Amino acid sequence: MTPSGDRPSGLIWFDHPEPSATTEQLSRDRIVTAAMALADSEPGGDITMRAVAARVGVRSPMALYRYVGSKDGLTDLMLDQVYGLITIPGGHGWRHALRGLGRSGWDAMQHHPWAARLAYSRPPLGPSALNLYDTALGELDALGLDASTRMGFINTVLGHVLGSGLALLEERTMRARVGLPTDADLDKAVTPYLERIAVAGRHPHFTRWAGDPRRHTPQPQSFEQILEWLLDGLQTIAGDSETAENPSQE
């Protein structure tokens, strides 16, 4: 889904209150639920208002606009639903809180990877997004950092979440487009090119890595591992006495 027109519309929570009258088929919640299910079913997460209308059982997509205002309004509502899936555990220090943000955010992206793309198209000012930022900022208050650095801590972790979600979305789209659903299929497709690179002999270090059967065991750059590296880096800025917990013990 892309925003309608060249100029973005206003935010639905402030500019388009939900109509009090609903029908058995149509309400804001039903439309958003249908749109999210449709986006989940598409490898690239792309949907249209017409497809959403068909899913809720109405003929014209115009019937949806009374409830969601515009395509941008539906985007805002869908995205904020995903922000609502991200949880920030409180009371155990900033690192524990941001780890929870990262892990629950990654879980949300794996279920709804299209949200990673939408997140870069609309401002995060819905109720769930605001609650996420407010809670995270509260957990960082004790560090006494300036406003920019506090938000930088949060966006460092959210950037990892959204970047990983976007990579997942693009990979799913690619796999569906070229017909390579499994890792084994992808390895088989790339093997002839790796063999040609090896024969050419111009990249010996890469070739040695590519020929090592243990190159993916264990996975060197899992989401969780990169999250810990990021938290380690933030720890040096925080300069507090909190030590790095062992995530495997949580």
Q: Which CATH class is domain 12-82?
A: mainly alpha
Q: What is the pLDDT of residue 8?
A: 58
For range 44-73, the mean pLDDT: 94
**DSSP annotation string for 188-208:** HHHHHHHHHHHHH-S-HHHHH
- Report the distance separating Cα 145 and Cα 137, nearest Å: 10
How far, in Å, CA of 182 to CA of 140, rounded?
41
pLDDT digits 0-9 by tens, 159-177: 999 999 999 999 999 999 9
Q: What is the mean pLDDT of residues 48-67?
A: 94
Q: How confident is the model at residue 249 (pLDDT cuts 50, 70, 90)?
A: very low
**The pLDDT value given to residue 7:** 55
The predicted model scores a pTM of 0.85
User: Backbone phi, then psi, for 230, in 5-degree steps?
Assistant: -65, -45
Break the chain into its structural domains and give their ranges: 12-82, 85-180+194-249
In the chain, where does DSSP find H-type helix?
12-15, 28-41, 49-56, 62-68, 71-83, 94-111, 114-118, 127-140, 147-178, 183-200, 204-210, 223-238
Domain 85-180+194-249, CATH homologous superfamily name and number = Tetracycline Repressor, domain 2 (1.10.357.10)
